[in-house]
Chain A
Amino acid sequence: MTDVTLYHWEPNANSGKPMLALMEKGVPFASHYIDMLQFDQHKPEYLAINPQGTIPAMTHQGPWGSRVLTESTAIMEYVNAAFPGPDLMPADAQDRWRVRWWMKFMDQWLGPSFSMIGWSVFVGPRVRERDPEELAAAIERIPLPERRRAWKKAINGDFSAEEMAESRRRVALGVAKLEEELGKRDYVGSDAYSLADINIFNSTYSLPLSQPDLASKDKTPNIMRWLKRVYEREAVGKTWAMGKTDMAARYSLMMEGII
């Protein structure tokens, strides 16, 4: 019997963050797979856990009862502070500031651009194959109005050319800045592997495949060296083994081929 249950989709982007953080800390957890493409996250049984209908979410049982934690980066900070195991925040306060700065840069500025592109080329087309009436009903069940708007856009392919161009500009700039950062330090924000690496790896590991014009051995040697180092971690292998689609297998093949 484990005290921790994680509700997650694929080991990718937001879901991948707490999965990998728990693996790195060696915290046993019950995995509850939420199929985002089937809108499991908006079904009543999941809304009973997280009324916002966002994934991931984590429950932690203890003398306090059951805690529900949401928001992937904040969950990681909780996991790091609440459990024994290797410290995933650097010891120096300025390094910790830098780790937090990079996580915010990813979560609030770069990440939404990655996901706009990801949704338009991957999530939208996959979901559009489904029955339109079923889709409309699924959208209506989304509790947060802004998520409802975002899903509608993704499903209908409504991102304007201008929005997509801005997202591509941000991704290109963010990748260039990450390359600069990894030229200064071994890991993101410090010389030690930390939550910032877990955060950013989960949104960038596919770059050499999805954006080879931006990230490659020639163009971004520092990113490629860092990706390889993170990719080779035991916890990453274990986390990717929890994927149910071909995403993880595809990327591990890619990683072996490219790096």
Chain B
Amino acid sequence: MELVLYHGEPNGASLTVLAALAESGLDIPCRPIDLLSGARHALPEIAEPIALDLGIEGEGPVLVIGGEAMTESVFLAKYLDELAGGCGLQPDDAYAHWEMLMWCRQITERLSPAAALLGNLAHSQAAIAAIPASDFAALAASVVSDDLRARWQALHEGRADPAQVADSEAKVDQAAQRCEDKLADGREFLMGAFSIADLVTYSWLAGMELVRPEAFAETPLTRAWLARVAVRPCILAALAMANTPEPLKTWAPGPEINRWG
């Protein structure tokens, strides 16, 4: 069965999955795509597109296996770990596993949308706004999800809701503080042992050191943890796949901000 991983630059959701793939040691062909050109919405030979069309995560990586598009970085990282027969990215113990799932959900539900909004406004909004109208119309038409298309359109038109920006800044600050609290007992990684929780949190938080440095002003443990994760071989391997000098500055429309606040 044919496998291929389509991914953006190693940041956000793509970084999580590229690092998990490196950790797994699996030999799966990787194809970089230009997320900001809409390439993710023009992938060839997708027989089962629902996870690509209606994924929650926005412009995340897509693993295609036998024509089925698979998305959502946490679940792809779990899948790669399981496919490799367990490469150590998930705890075996049921309770420790529950804790990791809860952590990852907090990150993907609260930090990821916030980081994506701030990251896009800081680093990709100008590029998206510069897409000529006719090209953008074609790109927007290729995006199946109405709510993801709306996030593209807001960036293209330079619209940003100040309340959402303020809320996103608060959520990034809270995420840095949550890490600080978790690390307070001296543990090396968020769940104790290195896990998907570190991958997913690093992937969304590392770029925020550039965009929202004040979030880290009083979180020395979080800063030290970011530095520890940054030199993990799987993160280094993922970052080595970058086609730009500063991959942590590459963003594309991400998850939706919770509709209920």
Binding site for B on A (CB under 8 A): 64, 67, 69-71, 74-75, 77-78, 81-82, 93-94, 96-98, 100-101, 104-105, 108-109, 112, 116, 145-146, 149-150, 153, 163, 166, 169, 173, 177, 180-181, 184
Given A105-B56, A112-B259, A146-B261, residue A97 in contact with residue B78 (CB < 8 A): yes
B130-147 at interface with A (beta carbon < 8 Å): 146
CB closest chain-A residue, reference B80? A93
B79-100 interface bits toward A, Cβ cutoff 8 Å, 1 = contact, 0 = none = 1001100000000001101100
Cα of A71 to Cα of B109 in the assembled complex, Å = 13
B98 touches A77 (CB 8 A): yes
Cα of A97 to Cα of B68 in the assembled complex, Å = 11
Majority-rule SS of B interface residues: helix
CB closest chain-B residue, reference A110? B54
Closest 7 CB pairs of A and B: A81-B94, A82-B94, A78-B98, A93-B82, A97-B79, A100-B75, A146-B261
B227 is an interface residue with CB less than 8 A from chain A: no
Residues of B within 8 A of A75 (CB): 98
B70 touches A97 (CB 8 A): yes
A101 touches B51 (CB 8 A): yes
B39 is an interface residue with CB less than 8 A from chain A: no
A97 touches B76 (CB 8 A): yes
A149 touches B260 (CB 8 A): yes
B146 touches A177 (CB 8 A): no
Cα of A150 to Cα of B183 in the assembled complex, Å = 32
Closest chain-A Cβ to B163's Cβ sits at a distance in Å of 12
B9 is an interface residue with CB less than 8 A from chain A: no
**Among candidates A69, A71, A149, A184, residue contacting B105 with C-beta atoms closer than 8 Å:** A71
Question: Which range contains the number of B residues in contact with the other chain?
Answer: 20 to 34
Majority-rule SS of A interface residues: helix
Residues of A within 8 A of B75 (CB): 97, 100-101, 104
Residues of A within 8 A of B68 (CB): 94
**Among candidates B50, B78, B98, residue contacting A177 with C-beta atoms closer than 8 Å:** B50
Binding site for A on B (CB under 8 A): 48, 50-51, 54, 56, 65, 68, 70-72, 75-76, 78-79, 82-83, 94-95, 97-98, 101-102, 105, 109, 146, 258-261
B101 touches A74 (CB 8 A): yes
Cα of A214 to Cα of B76 in the assembled complex, Å = 32
A94 touches B79 (CB 8 A): yes
Give 8 CB contacts A-B under 8 Å.
A70-B102, A74-B102, A94-B79, A97-B76, A98-B70, A100-B72, A108-B56, A184-B48
**Among candidates B50, B72, B82, B97, residue contacting A104 with C-beta atoms closer than 8 Å:** B72
Cα of A206 to Cα of B50 in the assembled complex, Å = 24
Residues of B within 8 A of A98 (CB): 70
Cα of A93 to Cα of B72 in the assembled complex, Å = 15
B79 touches A96 (CB 8 A): yes
A78 touches B97 (CB 8 A): yes
Given A101-B75, A108-B56, residue A69 in contact with residue B98 (CB < 8 A): yes
Cα of A94 to Cα of B1 in the assembled complex, Å = 12
A94 touches B101 (CB 8 A): no
Closest chain-B Cβ to A114's Cβ sits at a distance in Å of 12
Residues of A within 8 A of B82 (CB): 93, 96
Residues of B within 8 A of A153 (CB): 260
Closest chain-B Cβ to A134's Cβ sits at a distance in Å of 24
B97 touches A77 (CB 8 A): yes
Given A93-B82, A94-B68, A101-B70, residue A109 in contact with residue B54 (CB < 8 A): yes
B94 touches A78 (CB 8 A): yes
Cα of A149 to Cα of B68 in the assembled complex, Å = 39
Closest chain-A Cβ to B204's Cβ sits at a distance in Å of 16
CB closest chain-B residue, reference A180? B50
A82 touches B95 (CB 8 A): yes
Residues of A within 8 A of B51 (CB): 101
Residues of B within 8 A of A74 (CB): 98, 101-102, 105
Cα of A218 to Cα of B109 in the assembled complex, Å = 36
Residues of A within 8 A of B259 (CB): 112, 163, 166
